Structure 1
Amino acid sequence: MQVHNSIKTFLLSEDGPTAVEYAVMLALIVCVCLTAVKAVGTNASNKFNVIKNALT
């Protein structure tokens, strides 16, 4: 009977799906941040190259 209650509690628990949802959201946020940093870095590098070429 105790095993039956343990399985029932596990199946009705919402902790697992909630943790998965948070992990997916975190992965998406990390992807967006990396994309933004890459775009800003590329643009900044191009601007510095323009300035460098203008000074030489």
Structure 2
Amino acid sequence: MNQSTREFLREEEGATAVEYAVMLALIVAVCIGAVSTLTNNTKQSFDESANAISGAFGN
């Protein structure tokens, strides 16, 4: 084995980049889940408000 191959195998910077990519993917997944939940809750709230207003006007 030559010297540059041994140094490449000993380096840990590549593993760090992979770890950051995994953390970023998990953060993105959590954000997407949170936005999805908030979207559903907001839609439900607006639907309830629309029904209440509609009922108040007798429609």
TM-score, normalized by length of structure 1?
0.92
The equivalent of 1:40 in structure 2 is 38
**Partner AA of 2:28 in structure 1:** V
Farther off after superposition, 35-44 or 3-12: 3-12
Unaligned 5+ runs, structure 2: 55-59
The C-alpha deviation readout for 1:7-53, integer Å capped at 9, x for no partner, is: 01100111110000000000000000000000011001100000011
1:12 aligns to what?
10
The structure with the largest helix share of the pair is 1
List, as ranges, runs of 4+ consecutive aligned residues in structure 1 with deviation greater than 4 Å.
none
**Cα distance between partner residues in 2 of 1:33 and 1:44:** 16
Q: CA RMSD in A?
A: 1.0
The TM-score normalised by the length of structure 2 is 0.87
Query: Which residue in the other structure is 1:29 paired with?
Result: 27
Which of these two proteins has the greater Rg computed from alpha carbons?
2
What is the total number of aligned residue pairs between the two structures? 54
What are structure 1's unaligned runs of at least 5 residues? none
Percentage of matched positions with identical amino acids: 48
